[in-house]
Amino acid sequence: MNLGRSIEELRLVPVNTCRLCHGQAKLCESHIIPEFFFKLSYDEKHRFRYTPNATTGRGPRIVQQGMTERLLCRTCEAKLSVFEGHAKKVLFDSKQFHRTLHPGGVIISGVNYTSFKLFLLSLLWRASVSVLEPFQLVKLGPHEETLRKMVLEEVPGGRFAYPTEFIICSDVPEELRHNIAPPVTFRIETTRTYMFMFGNLFCNFYVSKNSRFLGAQSRTFLTEEGELPIHEDPYGLYKAWLADYISYVNGLHGQPSVSTATGLYKFRPL
């Protein structure tokens, strides 16, 4: 699906150059976000509503498939497909991976740390190199090349290197359950963070080579032992943000913000 690529943007990337290995080859129509994430937002007719950010001047529209662009050669596409296959099983196959329920959410055990972590790194990297409209302001600067090399060389880094936090919100309003929005960005302490929303699942990507200092957040990261915590909405943060976002979607406010007990975070739609 082409969501706003311009001729000028396409000219910036050499034709037939794989963005991951930099080799010359026929490129695949690669998903920026794997299709299995969209299953959380599809309605009964296999559609979702895409809500662009207000600066585009366009309103929400109905879309029937995920977001792809000519990005990877077949070899690199196959590499990422292996990581994606494992991630899909971890997140959606409750029989294969043990789940331990606790008051704050669930812990999934038996995760292959390397495969799952490389999947997450590739997701953030793909969003950064993409020229599609939903990801146009996902800019990683020098971290982009670092992530490219980590994914290409299959070096996942430690638990605190570019970690991801998963949050589940059990009471997403129906009007947003089938909605896909561009990532939003904010800072926790000094760390740039990108939040992706898929139905009622939120993924926070921390852009830092060492996020050990993040305190409470650091306990929500995938461990090298293969345990993946998925937490219920803490402090009502995401529920409050969603209420604000509904107003944004309906055109009542320009930019969502949310107050929490630990401070005021300003969420800027990308």
Q: Does residue 169 have a pLDDT over 90?
A: no
Mean pLDDT to the nearest integer, 30-50: 72
pTM of this structure: 0.81
Residue 206: predicted pLDDT: 93
d(CA 155, CA 211): 17
Q: What is the DSSP string of 228-250?
A: EEEEE-GGGHHHHHHHHHHHHHT
The pLDDT confidence band at residue 103, using thresholds 50, 70 and 90, is confident
Contacts of 236 by beta carbon, 8 Å cutoff, 6+ apart: none
Say which amino acid occupies 210: N
Average pLDDT of every residue of the chain: 78
Tokens representing residue 56 in the block: 């585009």
Residue 23 has pLDDT above 90, yes or no: yes
Task: Report DSSP state, residue 168.
Answer: E
Higher local confidence (pLDDT), 177 or 115: 115
134 DSSP 8-state letter? G
Identify the residue with better confidence: 60 or 182.
Answer: 182
Distance between CA atoms of 156 and 266, rounded to whole angstroms?
A: 30
pLDDT computed for residue 269 by the predictor: 35
pLDDT at 104: 83
pLDDT at 270: 33
177 and 200 Cβ atoms separated by less than 8 Å = yes
217: its two tokens: 């957040």
| Position 116, amino acid | F
The CA-based angle 53-6-31, given to 5 degrees, is 70
Kindly indicate the confidence band of residue 258, based on its pLDDT and cuts at 50, 70 and 90. Answer: very low
Q: Is the pLDDT of residue 267 over 70?
A: no
Please, which residues have CB within 8 angstroms of residue 251's CB and are 6 or more apart in sequence? 54, 59
Q: How sure is the predictor about 229, in pLDDT bands with cuts at 50, 70 and 90?
A: very high
More confident of the two residues 119 and 251: 119
What is the model's pLDDT at position 25? 93
